[in-house]
Amino acid sequence: GFSQRIFSGIQPSGGMTLGNYLGALKRFAEKQNEGIETIYCVVDLHAITVWQDPAKLRHQTREIAAAYLASGIDPDRSVLFNQSQVTGHAELAWILNCVARIGWMYRMTQFKDKTAGKNAENSSLGLLAYPSLMAADILLYHATQVPVGEDQKQHLELTRDIAAKFNHDYGVDFFPITEPLIEGAATRVMSLRDGTKKMSKSDPSDASRINLTDDADTIAKKIRKATSDAHPLPETVEGLKDRPEARNLVNIYAALAGVPTEAVIAEFAGAQFGTFKPKLADLAVAKLSPITAEMNRYMADPSEIDRILGKGADRADAIAAPILKKTKEIVGM
Ligand code: ADP
Ligand code: NA
């Protein structure tokens, strides 16, 4: 069997949102604190599947690293690094490109979404192959569990398929069949303006999301203006079923407070949004302000971030190198 090891990554393709924090960063820190071996990555090779301004990419890579550190990732307890600094990711991705099938890639809903309304044939080959690089990220460390938001579920299923096909094609039991960890109240944080859309850094409306760089007043204003409905909060969680905006705000509260959704409903049953929203705003500011301040503190010293990432890359490479070597032996290299 494989010993427990957690891997996950975040793209340096723009600012971080509350969705990234609750669906990813906060849970990454919890996993680290459960004493499981944790490896976390800024995935810059993924970011360039769509064109990135080079100076901006460098800045955003440091910003994601700062967000990890500010969210409680301790570079002594977790391996924290930038993907392109460990060459094994690109090398294993090529081998896995030759295992995965083109048709599997075309079926990915993220690829379909990202090319919707555009000429898909004119997108980068990397955008299509993105999930096999993601499989390489995970399998390069023999990671057994990957905490992510719900939007990554299909890519993780593909990682399992690629691992299984490699094992089958070469008659080995070499790559683990990774388990997705999609848990908690905030696996899919929705837009504050449209309860049917995912909160995303790429949404053209800034009011749709809370950014980790927003100040307290901006956070409070965005929550006050968030789309809700005219009904009080229900007596039970089931009462949120057909109320996507209400459910989203309650889920955000639960995830920020670190309690189950049921506990939030028990506290606020019958309350109007005029009462609930200011409480949510206070909680969001209390939880996010210290993180924003820490991020700013780290960003004031970019060379310290680079030093941490460099050290992390050495540690990551030490785990990856023997696994890559063995992979090549299996393939006949
Ligand atoms: P984005 O989706 O914002 O472009 P990434 O693809 O780099 O960012 O995702 C980083 C992590 O954040 C992934 O684990 C992803 O599932 C999670 N995530 C992104 N958006 C949300 C959201 N709205 N709710 C919950 N988790 C999210
Ligand atoms: Na995503």
Give tens-digit pLDDT for 219-241.
999 999 999 999 999 999 999 99
Q: What is the CATH number of the domain that holds 14?
A: 3.40.50.620
**Is 10 a pocket residue for ligand 1 (Cβ < 6 Å)?**
yes
Distance 148 CA to ligand 2 centre (A): 9
Residue 54, token pair as written in the block: 């080079």
Annotated ligand binding at 310? The verdict is no
From the number of C-beta atoms within 10 Å of its C-beta (0-12, 13-18, 19+), residue 98 rates as exposed
The two beta strands, 5-10 and 78-82, are unpaired
pLDDT band of residue 245 (cuts 50, 70, 90) is very high
Q: Has this prediction a pTM greater than 0.90?
A: yes
Counting the structural domains of the chain, the total is 2
List, for residues 139-158, the tens digit of each pLDDT value: 999 999 999 999 999 999 99
Is the same domain home to 39 and 147? Answer: yes
Which ligand gives the minimal distance to the CA of 64? Answer: 1
pLDDT band of residue 35 (cuts 50, 70, 90) is confident
Mutate which of 28, 151, 197 for ligand 1 pocket (most atoms within 8 A of beta carbon): 151
Residue 229, token pair as written in the block: 């409905």
Is the same domain home to 107 and 33? Answer: yes
Q: With respect to residue 73, please indicate whether it lies within any of the assigned structural domains.
A: yes
Q: Give the model's pLDDT for residue 117.
A: 87
Q: What is the CATH number of the domain that holds 226?
A: 1.10.240.10
Q: Give the model's pLDDT for residue 302.
A: 97
Q: Give the model's pLDDT for residue 146.
A: 98
Which ligand gives the minimal distance to the CA of 20? Answer: 1
Does the pLDDT value for residue 1 go beyond 80?
no
Q: Give the model's pLDDT for residue 202.
A: 82
287 given a catalytic annotation: no
Annotated ligand binding at 12? The verdict is yes
Span 117-127, mean pLDDT?
Answer: 92
Provide DSSP, 74-96. Answer: -TTTEEEEEGGGSTHHHHHHHHH
Q: With respect to residue 198, please indicate whether it lies within any of the assigned structural domains.
A: no
Is the same domain home to 157 and 228? Answer: no
**Is 20 a pocket residue for ligand 1 (Cβ < 6 Å)?**
yes
- Please report which helix (H) or strand (E) contains residue 146, including its range: strand 145-147
Is the same domain home to 14 and 86? Answer: yes
198 given a catalytic annotation: yes
Q: What percent of the chain has pLDDT over 70?
A: 100
**Is 198 a pocket residue for ligand 1 (Cβ < 6 Å)?**
yes
What is the predicted ipTM? 0.95
Is the same domain home to 30 and 140? Answer: yes
Is the same domain home to 322 and 258? Answer: no
Q: With respect to residue 192, please indicate whether it lies within any of the assigned structural domains.
A: no
Distance 152 CA to ligand 2 centre (A): 6
Q: With respect to residue 193, please indicate whether it lies within any of the assigned structural domains.
A: no
Does the pLDDT value for residue 80 go beyond 90?
yes
pLDDT band of residue 170 (cuts 50, 70, 90) is very high
Is the same domain home to 178 and 268? Answer: no
Residue numbers of the domain that contains 28: 5-182+302-331
Annotated ligand binding at 200? The verdict is yes
Is the same domain home to 217 and 175? Answer: no
List, for residues 189-214, the tens digit of each pLDDT value: 999 999 999 999 888 999 999 999 99
Annotated ligand binding at 137? The verdict is yes
Is the same domain home to 30 and 163? Answer: yes
Q: Terminus-to-terminus CA distance in the chain, angstroms?
A: 25
Span 163-171, mean pLDDT?
Answer: 98
Helices (H), ranges, the chain: 18-20, 26-33, 44-47, 54-70, 88-97, 102-106, 109-115, 125-139, 153-169, 216-224, 244-257, 261-268, 273-299, 302-331
Is the same domain home to 115 and 79? Answer: yes
